[in-house]
Amino acid sequence: MADSGSEAIAVIGNTDLTPSESENNLKNTMVEKGTSLLKKMEISVAEAEKRTGKNAVNMQETYTVYLIETRPVDAASEGTNPALDSLWRRYSEFELLRNYLLVTYPFAVVPPLPEKRAEFVWHKLSADNMDPDFVERRRVGLENFLLRVASHPVLSSDKIFYLFLTEENGWKETMFETGFQAKADSRLKALNATFRVKNPDKRFAEMKHYGDELQSVISQLLRVRARAADRLYGVYKVHGNYGRVFSEWSAIEKEMGDGLQSAGHHMDAYAASVDDILEEEEHYADQLKEYLFYADALRTVCRKHELTQYELEMAVQDLTSKKQQREELATGTIRTFSLKGMTSKLFGQETPEQREAKLKMLETQIEEGEEQVKERNAECDEFVKSAWVDIERFKEQKDHDLRESLISYAIMQISMCKKGIQVWNNAKECFNKM
Amino acid sequence: MSGSVVDNTVSSGNSSAAIPTDVSGQILDLDEDDDLEVFSKDTTLTDGSSFNASMQTSPASMINQYKFEEDADTKDIFVTVDNPESHVTAIETYITYRVMTKTTRSEFDSSEFEVRRRYQDFLWLKGRLEEAHPTLIVHPLPEKFVVKGMVERFNEDFIETRRRALHRFLNKIAEHPIFSSSEDFKIFLTAASGELTSHKKQGPGFLSRMGDTVKAVAAAVRGVRNRPQEFTEMQEYVEAFSQKIISLDKVTQRIVREQKEYLEELKECGPTYALWSQSEEELAEPLKNVAGCVDRCCKETEEQVKNLSDHLIPVLHEYVLCADTLKAVLRRRDNIQADFEAKTEALATKKANRDTESKVLSLAWASLVGRSPEEVKQQKLKGEIKEMRDDLDKAEDRLEWANNALKSDWTRWQKVMRTDLRSAFVDTAERNVSYYEKCLAVWESFLHSQRTDAEGNGKVDFS
């Protein structure tokens, strides 16, 4: 999980962490403070609030807004405490920002937003977007998104992003002025089109395949985990019945009464402990979900590469065919089948003037074509270069973060076991007094 | 099972000067020597009830005596049930269990015995003990057939669970001061199969048993008028206890079900992590490690579930059956009291009749004839009344004996119940602790491996 510098500890709220583990949590990001926005400002999504208002079709709707707080870093480190700047944003605005980033930086693996709707829920969790637990987890996810963007070597210097954080009004207008909307539409169309690339960069093909696998396996893991969480909840809660029955039984016993009664209390405590345990596990699930969505961002970049490569190949193909046409025209031989060629065969040759004109046109087209190929080649190279840099950065980040997630999962399990040991030892003492 | 079998031998014991064998046939199934020992210790323990004077000590105090002796931890008989084997005949297939006995008791011909017994034989023994001691509490046997879970009769787990329960049953009998001296118990432990079969054929015939059942039903219909408060309290306790223990049984079974379902889901987690590790490079090792950890936790959970099923549930289940046994015992005691009350009433009525008749008729006849058929009738009535009084006395004895037997066995049972349930729950708690400790170790080893790995690679600074 990304970190906001000296502020919040990572989301894993385990109070049983050893000091070294805590410290590790603080450092568990790939923040390159030297190059990113985070060097200059602290960012957090501090609160969430419900609002009601009229929407685009003039209907009443209830929605949630999130408070973004920023503060320049330097001033804070000098000991003075400058006022926090803050503004409210709703989820749809975050979505707009992300779309803008996707279009403007197609080579970047753009950090994902927390899920729009609650998925992979197990029965106790509400799938309702208004549910306070869901809102809280979304708040954390949105903060994480901002921190990730702010620590990205390229994205963090984007002006629109800066405005998103600092200008409550006028941000959207400035963004639309960049004209990204037009690009967005064509990008969407292109990405959804099917086309075959002849010479894709192998690395990107592999990355795309990896993205597919990652998405599939994390989905499966989240599903299985949710079902297991559901069942574990059941196991713990049924123990609460012991509490009730022991209590009732203790009422009819003389010597056994006390032991039974107190054992019953421990059974109640055991049953209640599962709520905290599973809430912590949700944080782990959120960390997995982030990478589930990251996999999609990764695949998008690979797809974009295919698109640029395809366009290059199309340009090359076009150029080649034009050159061939010129040759045929010049030498008079028809090697390629063309309607023009057939009709001229059938209805007679063209006049020398007509041929001259055509040749001239072709020359121009070939010149243009060569320009285009050069451009597209450069585009392709450029894209491959910057995309691969970001993919490598992403890989390192992913390896690091997921490893930390696994460690925090282990820590959670240890905490759960320790609680279990404590409860059952207590219960045993009570049983001994029976 | 009725209480009136006690009738015959007690009265014959009363009339004979020789003490032990007859009386003890019902109460203490011992040889002479041991009886004498008991009696010589017992003189101070006579509870001075309005019991028959020819009895040197009341049964209650004799029972108490044996309770003390047992508590003095002089366990002189050890019984085990093991080695189930299946037998196939033309008619049926059944299982026998090996029953081994080691004892220093003198009434046993040798110190070690090994026999094979089937479930039917255990049923027989239980029936005999209940017949002989209607108000003593016999530990329950495992049920004939578990219909609920559709368990196959010859399923391994079923046989093992049953074997354990049979073992517990025999040990409870051996630890009981009265039952362990039962002749039937001794024969059960020592007789060869053929001997046992022929011994089984003896005992009250079908007709006499029918007669007993009829009497019992009649008594039950009559109902008890003046049940002593302590037995009413006992009944209330048994009702409540029964409910609680049934609830505990159900809760525990539900826990087992939920844990099994949890296990099913958990079993898929490990393989998913393993699958993931195949797409990764740097992450492959930690992912495989996590997969291994999850799998190990699965194994521990599986064992945990088995423990609950094998240890806690059978004990709870036995006490559910115990509650039923207690209810039956209280019912039988009630029947004995009802019988006594009925006989009391009948005698009173007879006496009233006699008085009325004699008043009315003696005047009339005496004036006319002198000695008369009436006098003969009176003589006859007198005889009938004497018989009824004797009957009543026996019924009173039986009631007194039943009440005392129940009272002391009740105290005994409560102690045993407390010990059994306490140790079952303590055992369960210990197993749970052990389960969590094992899982804890699994995850700690994962953490440790990640730390050493990280420090080795210089990736993360744990300082």
A252 closest CB neighbour out of B240, B290, B433: B240
A224 vs B237: CB contact, 8 Å cut-off? no
B436 vs A421: CB contact, 8 Å cut-off? yes
pLDDT of residue B47: 38
Task: Tell me which chain A residues have a C-beta less than 8 angstroms from the C-beta of B437.
Answer: 417, 421
B432 vs A420: CB contact, 8 Å cut-off? yes
State whether residue A221 sits within 8 Å of chain B by CB. Answer: yes
A224 closest CB neighbour out of B268, B440, B460: B268
Asked, for residue B186, whether it belongs to a domain, the answer is no
Give B114-121 contacts, CB < 8 A, sequence gap 24+.
Answer: B115/B189, B115/B190, B115/B191, B115/B192, B115/B193, B115/B196, B116/B85, B116/B193, B117/B188, B117/B196, B118/B94, B119/B94, B119/B95, B119/B144, B119/B162, B119/B166, B120/B94, B121/B188, B121/B196
A249 vs B432: CB contact, 8 Å cut-off? no
pLDDT of residue A223: 94
Cα Rg, chain B, nearest whole Å: 32
Asked, for residue B289, whether it belongs to a domain, the answer is yes
| Residues contacting A232, CB < 8 A, separation 6+ | A274, A277, A278, B262
Please tell me which residue of chain A has the smallest CA distance to B246: A245
pLDDT of residue A394: 95
Asked, for residue B120, whether it belongs to a domain, the answer is no
Token couple for B158: 């079923």
B255 vs A403: CB contact, 8 Å cut-off? no
Task: For residue B312, give the CATH number of its domain.
Answer: 1.20.1270.60
Mean pLDDT in each 10-residue stretch from start to end of chain A (434 residues)?
A: 41 45 42 59 85 82 89 65 82 92 92 87 68 87 94 91 89 85 74 77 92 96 94 95 94 90 94 93 93 94 89 90 84 63 61 81 88 90 93 95 95 96 96 90
B462 closest CB neighbour out of A24, A228, A255: A24
B254 vs A238: CB contact, 8 Å cut-off? yes
Cα separation, B129 vs B173, in Å, equals 9
pLDDT of residue A336: 58
Cα separation, B17 vs A411, in Å, equals 80
Rounded to two decimals, the ipTM of the complex is 0.84
B439 vs A20: CB contact, 8 Å cut-off? no
Substitution target from A206, A278, A281, A428 for chain B, most B beta carbons within 10 A: A428
Question: Position A256: which residue type?
Answer: M
B262 closest CB neighbour out of A221, A231, A399: A231
Cβ atoms of A54 and A79 closer than 8 Å: no
Fold entry, domain A186-331+358-433:
Substrate Binding Domain Of Dnak; Chain:A; Domain 2 (1.20.1270)
Where are chain A's structural domains? 186-331+358-433
- Provide the number of structural domains found in chain B: 1
Asked, for residue B399, whether it belongs to a domain, the answer is yes
Q: Which residue has 């492959």 as its token pair?
A: B284
φ, ψ for residue B204, nearest 5 deg: -50, 130
CA–CA min distance A261, chain B (Å): 13
Cα separation, B191 vs B104, in Å, equals 17
Tell me the residues of chain A between 288 and 317 that have a Cβ less than 8 Å away from chain B: none
Q: Indicate if the alpha-carbon torsion angle B372, B373, B374, B376 is positive or negative.
A: positive
B418 closest CB neighbour out of A256, A398, A417: A256
Task: Tell me which chain B residues have a C-beta less than 8 angstroms from the C-beta of A420.
Answer: 432-433, 435-436
State whether residue A33 sits within 8 Å of chain B by CB. Answer: no
Residue B390 CB coordination number (10 Å): 11
Cα separation, B34 vs B50, in Å, equals 26
pLDDT in tens, chain B (463 residues): 343 333 343 334 344 333 333 333 333 333 333 333 333 333 333 333 333 333 344 444 444 444 444 444 577 888 999 988 888 888 888 889 999 999 888 888 888 989 999 998 999 999 999 988 888 999 999 887 655 555 556 678 888 888 999 999 999 999 998 998 888 999 899 888 777 887 777 766 555 566 666 666 666 666 778 888 999 999 999 999 999 999 999 999 999 999 999 999 999 999 999 999 999 999 999 999 999 999 999 999 999 999 999 899 999 999 999 999 999 999 999 988 988 888 888 888 888 877 776 666 656 665 666 556 667 777 778 888 888 888 889 889 999 999 999 999 999 999 999 999 999 999 999 999 999 999 999 999 999 998 876 665 554 444 4
pLDDT of residue A176: 85
Token couple for B178: 């009265």
Task: Tell me which chain B residues have a C-beta less than 8 angstroms from the C-beta of A12.
Answer: none
| Residues contacting A14, CB < 8 A, separation 6+ | A280, A408, A411, A412, A415
Residue A306, exposed/middle/buried by CB under 10 A (0-12, 13-18, 19+)?
buried
CA–CA min distance A116, chain B (Å): 25
State whether residue B244 sits within 8 Å of chain A by CB. Answer: yes
A428 closest CB neighbour out of B281, B429, B437: B429
Name the residue range of residue B237's domain: 219-357+382-453
Token couple for B402: 């039943």
Q: Which residue has 């899920």 as its token pair?
A: A115
**Which of B31, B186, B212 lies closest to B113 in space, CA to CA?**
B186
Task: Tell me which chain B residues have a C-beta less than 8 angstroms from the C-beta of A269.
Answer: none
